[in-house]
Chains A and B, each alone.
Chain A
Amino acid sequence: MLCAGPGGGSNDVQWCFSQVKGAIDDDVAEADIISTVEFNQSGELLATGDKGGRVVIFQQEQESKNKLQCRGEYNVYSTFQSHEPEFDYLKSLEIEEKINKIRWLPQKNAAHFLLSTNDKTIKLWKISERDKRPEGYNLKEEDGQYRDPNTVTTLRVPVFRPMDLMVEASPRRVFANAHTYHINSISVNSDCETYLSADDLRVNLWHLEITDRSFNIVDIKPANMEDLTEVITAAEFHPNQCNTFVYSSSKGTIRLCDMRAAALCDSHAKLFEEPEDPNNRSFFSEIISSISDVKFSHSGRYMMTRDYLSVKIWDLNMESRPVETYQVHEYLRSKLCSLYENDCIFDKFECCWNGNDSVVMTGSYNNFFRMFDRGYQQDMTLEASRENSKPRSVLKPRKVSTGGKRKKDEISVDSLDFNKKILHTAWHPLDNIIAVATTNNLYIFQDKLI
């Protein structure tokens, strides 16, 4: 499924620019910074959250035989303010409205449901369409004014008439006051009834219908906070087994837990950990081993973790080490001190699988993003930039020169722009369409259809 470059590879896929959403000007308002990207289960809807607490949902147009490309474009479907800034008066702390994660619920009826969360509160939103409205009321005028009942001489039955499509987003549930620390993950269970939310030290289990109660299933807070050595960085339910979930830690470990074993899953069923290479020991070893994202494969057999420099694929049946490791930007290893100074070393990159688990993708700096084809053992670096934004233009693979001599078209490590980072990427579950978020723009790429 992965393009090996023009003229190369046996399973050629060429990635082309499709669309870009967002403001063009370079002056980025902080509220517009994209903080999460997520396709729904059918891929028809693409949701983004930003630092300003807004959610923007794009919908793919129905395929049209008239257009050259057979895939529909993504257009804005709904925009709403999910979270507002809040103030915790007890602790004198401001609660950011930034959307940390969005997760779609499997669709059950005409409406769409998604969970969105900031640092403290999770909300269930219903996104529904209205394309008809009732007309012909007896006691109400068409403009809404009430009629004097004495003037009514005949009765009629109101009927539904078509109207312009209106997409409404309404908050159906608010799940609040369950997290002392900052929420980093939410994950919907395959039973479609429950979901988990994880903060730095705890994982809670919720029922989608019940907002005033949640069950704590993992608690790693030590009795004495001075003994704290690790925090939870991400958590996810298994895609098929409703009793299984994993959570990753800042120490580079992943724990798989079985909710059938005990009410409190502090003791893990499996512990996935790779021993540290002593040759790579540095001041920053702990930072770069911290896992920023964990994702199950669609099959449920594997899981992928992202740390600062690499992506690792784990087989759930083997805890001792990952089955595959891909270096995302190993050339940064010698730059860790500078990256620590400018805080880039704390960037939390996400990762994602393609629909059939054959390719994984993650972001990097300079608006580069990387794909790793597991089957063909090939990797590719592409760039999301306005310069490559001619419709259907094929993206040229990029290369960072690590040696002394820089070839033509290569970029030296020192020329990389570390302010342009791709932290969030998403892959359409059924098709070769990817959504890549730069700081404040959303790029949509798709494979070239002949």
Chain B
Amino acid sequence: MISTMECAVDAQSLISISLMKIHNSRTQRGGIKLHKNLLVSYVLRNARQVYIKEKYAEIYRMQQYEEVMTVCNEIQELNPLDLEAEDAEDEEQARAACCVEEASACGSPCHRGAAHCRTAGTVAGCSLLEDGCKEPEPSYYRSCCMEAPPAPLCEQCPANSSAHCNKTTVLDLDTHVVTTVENGYLHQDCCCDALQCGQSAQSPAKKRKVEFGFCASDAEEAPDFTAARKRAKREDCSYSAPDYTDTSNISNLISIFGSGFSGLLSRQADLEQICSKQALASLGAWTRAIV
């Protein structure tokens, strides 16, 4: 009997069902049925295609969320009197992450970021943000999503809703090298970039609520974004940027979360684990510049 409710056509469950069928066919009487296994492999292929598409889309959405949170945090940390010493360092990094972004032709996100920086009294570093943001290496940019920045991103850029954010000019304070990077498609690694869009205008209280909601499912996670970043900082980042592929990104994510992808949105700290060492190192350069 077929259940009354039609089963959820979930790509992931179809994959596991199909693999189970192939496995069971090996012990069936009469030998492996070529026809049936061929048909099962077609289902497997179809489900895998959908699964990969969904996962990429999910990771991309998650990156967006993280960028937003970065900016939110930036705004919160503008008041230096509230901060401890250790947090101050995090703030710098957060600000750096905020500032290191794909600047659009509109330039408004970076301006906003620059405004934050100026407000915080770090004119020297942020004045460089006029043209864009620091981009020490192309590999610093997010890599998980294979697609060009889709329209939704730019919808949130109030000044320029149609253009893709795809060009960044970066000055490395250590080496005094100016780099212009075009990134329509994503480069290696790191979800830690901070593409700025409209949500930076949100109130801090609202953002904090959103963040808490995402983290509610995991008791271990600190609701505070800065605390999470502290934890991420201390952990080893074991993946080198240039070789880091999207596939290994996903597989690492899977290994981090065990069986499934659920709860991915709350694991911002884990995301930062897979950022490249160079990405974190570049943050260090910024902190020196800013301080």
**Chain A interface (Cβ within 8 Å of chain B)?**
91, 93-96, 98, 119, 181-182, 184, 200-201, 228-231, 233, 250, 282-287, 290, 334-335, 337-343, 346, 414, 416-418
Contact = CB atoms under 8 A, between A and B. Distances in A.
12 contacts: A93-B31, A200-B34, A230-B38, A286-B42, A286-B46, A287-B39, A337-B14, A338-B6, A338-B7, A341-B17, A414-B1, A417-B1
B79 interface: no
A181 B34 contact: yes
Contacts of B177: none
Interface of B: 1-4, 6-9, 11, 14, 17, 21, 29-31, 33-36, 38-39, 42-43, 46-47, 50
Q: Lowest 8 A-B CB distances belong to which pairs?
A: A286-B42, A96-B30, A93-B31, A338-B2, A200-B34, A283-B46, A287-B39, A337-B7
Contacts of A338: 2-3, 6-7
A200 B9 CA distance: 30
A249 to B, nearest CB: 10
A286 B31 contact: no
Given A96-B29, A418-B1, A228 B6 contact: no
Nearest to A180: B34
Contacts of B14: 283, 337, 340
Residue in B6, B11, B35, B42 with the greatest tally of chain A CB atoms within 10 Å: B35
Contacts of B42: 286-287
Given A182-B34, A337-B9, A286 B3 contact: no
A231 B41 CA distance: 13
Contacts of B36: 346
A418 B36 CA distance: 19
Contact of B43 (A95, A230, A286, A418): A286
B29 A414 contact: no
Nearest to B49: A283
Contact of A290 (B1, B34, B39, B46): B39
Contacts of B17: 340-341
Contacts of B43: 283-284, 286-287, 340
Contacts of B7: 337-338, 341
B39 A250 contact: yes
Contacts of B2: 335, 338-339, 342, 414, 416, 418
Residue in A93, A290, A340 with the greatest tally of chain B CB atoms within 10 Å: A340
A184 B9 CA distance: 31
Contacts of B50: 283
Main SS class of interface, A: loop
A182 B33 contact: yes
A95 B32 CA distance: 11
A338 B38 CA distance: 19
B35 A233 contact: yes
A335 B6 contact: yes
B32 to A, nearest CB: 9
Residue in B6, B31, B36 with the greatest tally of chain A CB atoms within 10 Å: B31
B30 A94 contact: yes
Contacts of A290: 35, 39
A95 B28 CA distance: 11
A119 B1 contact: no
Nearest to A332: B2
Given A94-B31, A416-B2, A417-B1, A231 B47 contact: no
B20 to A, nearest CB: 10
Nearest to B32: A93
Given A95-B31, A283-B46, A346-B36, 13 more contacts: A93-B31, A96-B30, A233-B35, A286-B42, A287-B43, A290-B39, A334-B6, A337-B6, A340-B17, A341-B7, A414-B2, A414-B4, A418-B2
A339 B3 CA distance: 10
Nearest to B20: A341
Contact of B30 (A182, A228, A287, A339): A182
A250 B4 contact: no
Contacts of A184: 35
Nearest to B33: A182
Contacts of B39: 250, 286-287, 290, 346
A231 B38 CA distance: 8
Contacts of A418: 1-2
A55 B34 CA distance: 26
A84 B8 CA distance: 43
Contacts of A283: 9, 11, 14, 43, 46-47, 50
A448 to B, nearest CB: 34
A71 to B, nearest CB: 37
A119 B34 CA distance: 12
Nearest to A348: B35
A250 B9 contact: no
Contacts of B1: 414, 417-418
A417 B1 CA distance: 6
B30 A231 contact: no
Contacts of A94: 29-31
A209 to B, nearest CB: 30
Contacts of B47: 283
Given A283-B14, A286-B42, A341-B17, A95 B30 contact: yes
Contacts of B6: 334-335, 337-338
